[in-house]
Amino acid sequence: MSFEGKAVIVTGGGSGMGKASALSFAERGANVLVADISGDSAEKTVEEITAAGGKAYAHTFDLRDRDQVVGMIAAGVEQLGGLDVLANVGAISANQSVEEMTLEFWENMQTTNLRGNMLGMQAAIPHLRERNGSIVNVASGAAFYAVPGLAAYSASKAGLIAMGRVLAQENAPYIRVNAVLPGPTKSAMSDGVKSTAAVAAKRAAVGQTIGRWLDPSEIADVVVWVSSDAARAVNGALFRVDGGHHML
């Protein structure tokens, strides 16, 4: 899969699945805007890309801020000379039961994971349409299975899936929009989710499938593939990358 000369924006590119995706796109020849709320993390990803001979730029932004999201897309288009792929990987996760949930907690989750990605896609559409581009939304298997404490997170990811499928219909045949649904994956975000008996039991169940947590690079492999010409006939699709976790 070659992305030689292609322009790619990866949100959440400073760590985890976002970083793995940015590195993988760059390895295949793409020019990448690495966008993250942590400027230092984004810069470190860029340093790795440039050290390997690739071309990348770092951009600091907050998914919760409309102007920053729109500005991130504009900066990417300007620095990259256009846009071929938008990979929405940036997100937050935390637990809080519905009974105890505060409005602030709920709104922060939806504003970051759902509204922020909507604004990014909205701003990117005109540029992607010019090049028959692609959007990949990294959602979560949690959109389909219940984990106590993750109601707000699951709702935000289910919303992202639904919105992406509508977007695929609205912009066909000029822009492909697909979703990748990771299962339990090693990352700073998953490490930060408060452990409860229910969450611990769900994580332990990974041993009943492929027997291990996934590596971010394994998610990135699918993000990159579905963005490539090899997947040119794929649109509005959901890809579970969870080692069979959804079968439990």
pLDDT digits (tens, 9 = 90+) for 169-184: 999 999 999 999 998 8
| Cis amide prior to 173 (ω within 30 degrees) | yes
Q: Using the predicted structure, report yes or no on whether residue 204 has a pLDDT greater than 80.
A: no
Structural domains in the chain, sorted by start: 7-236 (3.40.50.720)
- Provide the token pair at 87: 């990979």
Give the pLDDT band of residue 185 (cuts 50, 70, 90): confident
Q: What is the Cα Rg of the chain in Å?
A: 17
CA angle 127-17-222, nearest 5°?
A: 70
Q: Select which of 57, 145, 153, 174 is catalytic.
A: 153
- What pLDDT, on a 0 to 100 scale, did the predictor assign at position 147? 86
Q: Using the predicted structure, report yes or no on whether residue 230 has a pLDDT greater than 70.
A: yes
The dihedral built from the CA positions of residue 159, 21, 244 and 201, taken in this order, carries a sign that is negative
Clarify whether 57 is annotated catalytic.
no
- Amino acid identity, position 61: F
- Provide the token pair at 58: 């770092």
**Average pLDDT of the segment spanning 117-144:** 97
Instruction: Please state, rounded to an integer, the average pLDDT across all residues of the chain.
Output: 92
Residue with tokens 């729109």: 70
pTM above the 0.85 mark? Answer: yes
d(CA 41, CA 55): 16
